[in-house]
Structure 1
């Protein structure tokens, strides 16, 4: 039951460059590398919608040259008929789809538009659209190696990027305000890495968000990649203490290791403040007690049917304040206490800061105090060097 705010939100977005008012010749290389991705006005993923849904370059639009069904048809023809027949039928499908995209999705692009096109491996599918766009006069390029090369870059960089970043970890029991304070820090101009936001999950048994599915593991890693690349390594980055998994998603090993080795700040709050905050954050479950009771079943292996039945009865009676209090006392606080000292060794010497209320003003006040504390710590560290 980690405190939350609306989801999802994008991060590390590509920033389109302004178009020149003068017409420019098609003078850029046809093939470019992953390092050049953010130099283009728009990124076009020509893979099928199913491939696109699993993972993609951030902010890419999907203009499939073959949809999922067409891709299956062509693949079957290639195996059961002949490569020639597959290419003949596939070419007709590709031509129709490219024409449709030019007449719809791409119809308003101006003459100086610079798109980057990619498919699975940087082969025929991306070539087909890229060649047409260049013949029209647009400065189109193809991502060499396609999505596969992009994915390899993500994996390699996620093993290296966290090493050079300076994290400051917000620790504290459930309801102590970590997530909302993180949001307040961002509003004050601080650098923030919000892992739960990227994972679309609150990181607990009750953390599933209503009507919002978690991204795939690959897409989660893509979002992390874009966000980490956008961070300034010379500035502090605030992040919550997390377990290795957020819902169904695994935090990359290098990132979780860097976070757990970082200095910590402990947030505390009175039980009444924590309960009030959690009742607000989990209002959607209070409006759907049957869903709440269903999720409580996930704790049955730890507490047995009798205790779960008691908690369900409290939910049925609308006794949510006492239910949250009991869940904190019986489950969340002991679990946090066991985990935090084992996984965050810097907690033993961490400063403690108190959240005095659950309102936005209190969050803002604590965020500003955290920034002052962070600045003092950095000055002291630099003075010791």
Structure 2
């Protein structure tokens, strides 16, 4: 009995210390006047405005434009030389590449890649911020659930004190309720720690100082998506994906390059085989990227459908756990249930809410992945 009392006293002392820390931190939050508030759209706009990568992409576009101008100038000089001195002044392959438009198309591809990369970088920033926003909302919800769990544990403890005073429970049961309260307080502090870590990650995604206090004004909710025709999504992705556009053009250019090589080399030469090999490698790359794009769409869709079904299941589980807790809490209050029963019901209820929150988070991320899988892409080319 003495050992049990000693353990309970230590737990109560821990609760008192943790409780003080929690109260002080809450006071700091309330007194802070430097809180930056963001809706999802505002967070994305802020990140785009303060990200140096956007300026880098603008410079890359300017550089590619200059390269294109230089290529056109080179083509003009080649034409002038041929007109003045005849075709013999220029290598036959070089002239053929010019005639087939390979030189100009290669330069244009460089410009296109630079422009696509800017759009892709924009996609990447938007995606990263939106994911960071959802991640922070999820952790904030977990923190709020831990707060609710603490309040429920405190309610049970207060009931236990009244019941102890009137002699319906023992001192050992009262101490057990204090330990349960201390455990709920500890869980809240752990949830706060994870929230602070996730907040710093969010700040980094936006380009904010890590210590900046922020508040999210949009909510993490489940909203049913529009009806999806996955085959149309695949088709849209194959038409829009920038990486696929690049490998397609490289494949076409490699075939034209072989045509140019034929004016000087025969099929039994090393140079000819080199170009032939380049075509096969380009074709393989094209097939690989096509499959990758299609897989991206289909896998995102499957994740989305799975997450949506799980939300419905876990919503029912959460509702059921809430009813079980209410019943066990009432039974304990009137002396028909045990402290173990109500404590277990409380923990089960909080866990069910956490799992539902996790499934809603997974659903929103899957929907985010599906949206981006159909577009230009979010991985910079080259």
Q: TM-score range by the shorter chain?
A: under 0.3
Greater relative contact order (CA < 8 Å, ≥ 6 in sequence): 2
TM-score by length of 2: 0.19
Higher CA-based Rg: 2
Q: Which has the higher strand share?
A: 1
TM-score by length of 1: 0.19
